[in-house]
Structure 1
Amino acid sequence: MNSIQKKILVLALSVLLIMAASWVSLIYYNQKMQNQYNDILERYLIMNEVTSTSQKIVTALNNYLLIPSPENISVIDQHKLEMEKMKEEVVDFKNVENELAITNYVHLIDSLVEMIDRSLFFHSEADTYNSNQAFTEATHISNYISEMTLTLIDTEIKTYDRFYRGIILQSEGLKQLGIWLLLLISVFLMLFTYWFSRRITKPVEKLTKAASEISKGRFDLEIEVESNDEISFLAKTLERMRVNINNLILEIQQKAQLEKELQQSKLLLKESQLRSLQSQINPHFLFNTLNTLSKKAYMEGSEETSDLLVSVAGLLRYNLKHLDKTMTLYDEVRVIQQYIDIQKARYTDRLTFHPVIDAACLDIEIPGLTLQPIVENAVIYGIEPHEDGGVIWFRIKDDGDRVTIEVEDDGPGMSEEKIKQIMEEQLDTAEGHSTGIGLSNVVKRLRLFNGREDTMRIESNKGNGTKVIIHILKERGVNSYDENINRG
């Protein structure tokens, strides 16, 4: 699929190629003219350097003849090497028009070097006259070289006059070519940009119009955009959204109708539940009756019976009010003690209860009615089946960042399968429990309270008793237990 990004890339590459071709052409022709101009300038500079060096070598020879020294002879040798090098470069300047002049020019250079050598030779032989004659001849040759240089340069200028004019014409032509290329590229870019922008803006206008209709609640108009890029994808996506919203509106209308019918059903159910409650015994009436019996028994001198009725009343009050709230360990321990007092009245010496409690931990919060079902489970399954009764150990201790609670009995224990069912919240029987809360329900509530899975552990073997271990974090998660209960 041709995307907008590819189209922009093609545009950029096209402009880049045109600009690069224009730039390379201009650079090529400009460099060509510059090289030709540099060659001509180099010819002038070399011939001018020949004149300058010829004068320097004559001056150096004069210094040597006046003051013979190794330094002066070294200067002469250096200039001679320079003259030989420039002579080779001058030879390359020959063409059809200046061949004779260049040949004479080269001979003059050779003659100058020869006269320099003759003067040095006669000077070394102490022949001052011939040495001076050779020096005078070298001076004349140096002057001839200067005049010949000017003549050659003048000839070169006349020869390359047409070339100079050609360079000027080419420069003007390149300038005009650059202007025309700039105008051509500008027109091309304007046309291409207009065509390219229309290919994008036209579908966008259709999308904008369709979105405007959707914002007005018109979900029955089909969206059609003819394009082969991302805009087509947006149009198809908007069309699917329109269809989904239309279907969602119909679904919401159907759900609203169902919700209305459901509310009517709930009203009927609440009315039914109200009538059912009217046929039940009011638990608060029972609680108040127990308090009345307790006071009557105390007045009649039956203090033990009065205490038992007080424990039953307290237990009933706690069970009625605190199932869905968090309580402190202090409250839980107090209700456990009331429960144990009631059971001791039933089992007498068959039940032995050993509490080991760290008082510093009693301010920690815990879900209401968490510990009583565990202790009650130990009484029902660990004490009741044995004629000799049994022992229950109840421990609360501080373990750093958490509080550990242990309920242990010396009863018959339970199987691994049953423990697994309890921990997986699959076994929630509470048969015989005064609270109606089983161990699986306790596990579920503790996990919800702590916000983690490893909050309770059961250790048991057949015939070796059972130990239930609970860990309560001192710092809980984000959501409190009451909030989780209300959401649930």
Structure 2
Amino acid sequence: MKRKAKRSMGTTIKLTFAIIIIIMSIIFLYSNIVKSRVVQEYDASMKINILLSDLSIEYNNMWELFNTYIKNNSEETYHRYIETNMKINNIINIVTPHIKEDKDSSIYLRNLNSMYAWFKEEMDLVITREELNLETYEQIMNIRTMNYYISQHSSNLMSSYLQHTNSNYLKVLDSYKILESNLYLLLAITILVSIFIIIISTDNILRTVKRLSVSVRQLSDANWDIPDLEVESYNELDYFAETFNHMKNSIKTYIEELNKASEMEMNYQKEKIKNIEKDKIIRETQLKALKMQINPHFLFNNLNTVSRMAMFENADKTVELIDAVAKILRFNLSQKNDFILLKDELEIVKAFILIQRIKFEDTIQFNYTIDEELYDLYIPPMIIQLLVENAIKHGVSGIKKQGWIKINVSRKNAYCVISVEDNGFGISKDEIDRIINRKEMDKSNYSTGLGIYNIILRLQIYFNREDLLTIESEKNVGTKVEILIPIEESERIAKSINS
């Protein structure tokens, strides 16, 4: 008997999937091209926004260099003044064609150019004068006022252009989403049509498989004497018969799966050990990074205070102020240990308070209650100074009543208790919860949270505890921050780290 010609179901399935893949590839490539264009437009807009931000900074640098030059007549300062002017002109030349795309931003830029032209002309006139007099001083004050207006106008320009670019980006993004939806719709239709074709093509396969299942059922009943299977519909179905010959390999396959599971478990344990070592490195890195956050901010603020006092106060106060800042500078430059003595920390705090006394005159009173037996206790550096700085900046600074800050260091059982209390504005319970639990903070209280969060994280890294800092506060009454230092553990850690 002549065998029927057998069809290939592989050809049908391959052709169907080839069509799907081709259409998916076209959709994917086209979508990526459009997406790339959207990204390029967005990047171009962001570069202009960055240049506008640089422009605002250079405007401020222009005023700072002018102000410095009229004080010291430095040739280097004058050259930097000229270079800054060139940078400003270069940025304006770059951004102008883009700014003109938005009407509101164009108005801000035109006004900003007019103000800067007057600003530059007046500064040049002052620089060319051989000596300063009352008229020159008035002219400098006018230039300073104009600098303020330029700064405000520059911020308005950035906001206006950012709004314009965001609006354009949203329009482009909406168009892309519509296009993407249409492409996916086309893909869905293609898949549905392909599924329909596959269903029709596999109908014959299913009927043949049903006949094969009868033989398989007989095998499951341990009937090994059934005749060899013979398939007449498709070439590929002939290979079903080979499945029966491979049943003896099921045990081997099962063992292989067990080996794979065992290998996966070993890899998991190795990865877990690596993660523990990585976590240790991260904790050490965090500690170093937290220490480095403190100094630049602190030194910057106090050097500004020194500058103002040098201009407006008598020499005696200025000498005291400079001595205090010098002490703090020497401490920061020479401090290499992770723990310092409490008495050294208090010396730095007293120097810091001396600066603040001169800055705020008699509007803030400072009171100390220190247990001298704890002077030789080792503590993490600058934790008291950070609390005092927070109490001044966010507590008593600006209140209408007489402000006071109390610094208390005492011993309670196995702990050294350090507290800083003020009668300032206070902190809300929600904000305290955000600070203690390191949640997202309001921008207005960000620096408050940053300082206290710095202390909390350092205490956690050193002592592996999260309950060593507490905050008590009431709005318009005041705030008390208390730190517990485990005395014996602190001494042990200090010897280990400092050595």
TM-score of the pair, normalised by structure 2: 0.37
**Bigger relative contact order, structure 1 or 2 (CA pairs below 8 A, ≥6 apart):** 2
Q: Which has the larger radius of gyration?
A: 1
TM-score of the pair, normalised by structure 1: 0.37
